[in-house]
Amino acid sequence: MKGTRDILPDEAELWRTVEQTIHEVMRNFNYREIRTPVLEQTELFARSIGELTDIVSKEMYTFADRSGESVTMRPEGTASTLRAFIQNNLGEQGSLTKLYYLGPMFRQERPQAGRLRQFHQFGAEAVGSMAPELDVEMMLVPLDICNRLGISKTSLLVNSVGCQRCRPAYKELLKAELIKIRTKLSPESRARVDQNPLRVLDSKDEGDRKLTASMPLMKDHLCDECSPHFSRVQDLLKALRIPFVIDGRLVRGLDYYTKTAFEITSRDLGSQDALAGGGRYDLLVEELGGKPAPGVGFAAGMERLMMVLEKQEIKTALGSALKIFLIGLDSESRSWAFETACALRARGISAETDYLERSLKAQLREANRQKAEYVLVVGGQELQSGAAKLKEMATGKESVVALSTFAHTFI
Ligand code: HAM
């Protein structure tokens, strides 16, 4: 199906390594995993992401189920995580709840490199604190994951999109400026001037960008709460020596943000260059029916991360998964090989044998193809003598092992 893809075994191995790194980094930062359903009530996304956003207005997989209820396959993880947070009372009064997730998301976008209809995100959400330190932590988590995987040459773009106190006045100011040039804007931006003027600023259209080059920016019109918050985020980044760029045009495609918004981009991604994006959403929990609680989070695209790994030729696949390949040369030794493979697997050792009655040569070729760490060849003679040669494939070293105790003494 258009915009979806299979993750074949070789690639799945790489995914597991990356996922392992994600789990480790999340544990280090003390985030706990949450798994929410793919299907949610449509209203959840309309209320959180915003009716007028591209995601909600044109990209969601929404349908009426058999009872007539409108359901949607989640286009992102924040809304679902907060719904679960509220429904399950995860946040005690005055506490901080740190959650992370990893899983498939669905958006009916026009497929292109780095843009899929079923894609995977990993992300984190922290609910219960206004501290700018947490905004910075949300940038550090994906940066640390990139670092550990060996990904270099990323850029961190940071902005503040203000809050309910300062944004409405700025929006009017911007709108008034945009109306003056409305007819020259691209059709997409023209349509946004009235309802969502901020999005005009992060239009990808070159003409729009030139026309809006000297427009007022939100970051220069922040209130006395948002302004020091933004300064503190920058000071913290500087203290940690994290390079960043202030991008006053960064708006993001979701409506729930207040104060900090950020993106991590990579030049190795082409036009869809965002590896990760996130920000603060201090009103969202309340908007979704929870007790008022500020929050901040990020999400990153797995497929885009994989694209960068490939582009930067980083090989992070797990080592050989197969410990031993047991080769049987006749029906009796094949049975022995199968039973011994089962005994080894029961001990937690990965083992494989032949199920296709292949020749010794073909079985050896298969063991090589499977990157088995060891090979044991057993025939009538070995069964009779009760001993066989165990070969370590990387070094070619051979040692004689006893068949009767092999399954219990190997490793
Ligand atoms: P987002 O910017 O929509 O933010 O998505 C985050 C990341 O998901 C993107 O930077 C990109 O890597 C990946 N992504 C998005 N759409 C696609 C697609 N169609 N194909 C492939 N990858 C894609 C959010 O989703 C927010 N929930 C982030 C957040 C969490 N903000 C606060 N907490």
**Range 258-287 average pLDDT:** 96
The CA distance from 267 to 271, in Å, is 9
Q: Is 256 in the pocket of ligand 1 (CB under 6 A)?
A: no
Q: Is 91 in the pocket of ligand 1 (CB under 6 A)?
A: no
> What residue's CA is closest to ligand 1, atom 17?
115
Per-residue pLDDT band at 94 (split at 50, 70, 90): confident
Atom index in ligand 1 nearest the CA of residue 299 equals 28
CA of 105 to the centre of ligand 1 (A): 9
pLDDT over 60 (residue 328): yes
The CA distance from 294 to 163, in Å, is 12
pTM, entire model: 0.92
> What residue's CA is closest to ligand 1, atom 31?
278
Q: Is 123 in the pocket of ligand 1 (CB under 6 A)?
A: yes
pLDDT tens per residue across span 174-226: 999 999 999 999 999 999 999 889 999 989 899 999 999 999 999 999 999 99
Residue 116 pairs with which residues in a beta bridge? Answer: none
The angle formed by the CA atoms of residues 107, 137 and 313, to the nearest 5 degrees, is: 60
Q: Is 125 in the pocket of ligand 1 (CB under 6 A)?
A: yes
**Range 335-362 average pLDDT:** 95
pLDDT tens per residue across span 220-251: 999 999 999 999 999 999 999 999 999 999 99
CA-CA-CA-CA dihedral for 148, 151, 157, 162, to nearest 10: -40
Domains along the sequence of the chain with CATH: 9-166+222-311 (3.30.930.10), 324-409 (3.40.50.800)
**Are the beta carbons of 258 and 281 closer than 8 angstroms?**
yes
389: Cα within 13 Å, side-chain hemisphere: 7
Q: Is 7 in the pocket of ligand 1 (CB under 6 A)?
A: no
Strands 295-301 and 118-127: antiparallel
CA-CA-CA-CA dihedral for 11, 15, 17, 23, to nearest 10: -170
Mutate to test the pocket of ligand 1, among 18, 34, 105, 287 (most ligand atoms within 8 A of CB): 105
Q: In percent, how much of the chain has pLDDT > 90?
A: 90
Q: Is 309 in the pocket of ligand 1 (CB under 6 A)?
A: no
Q: Is 109 in the pocket of ligand 1 (CB under 6 A)?
A: yes
Per-residue pLDDT band at 394 (split at 50, 70, 90): very high
pLDDT over 70 (residue 319): no
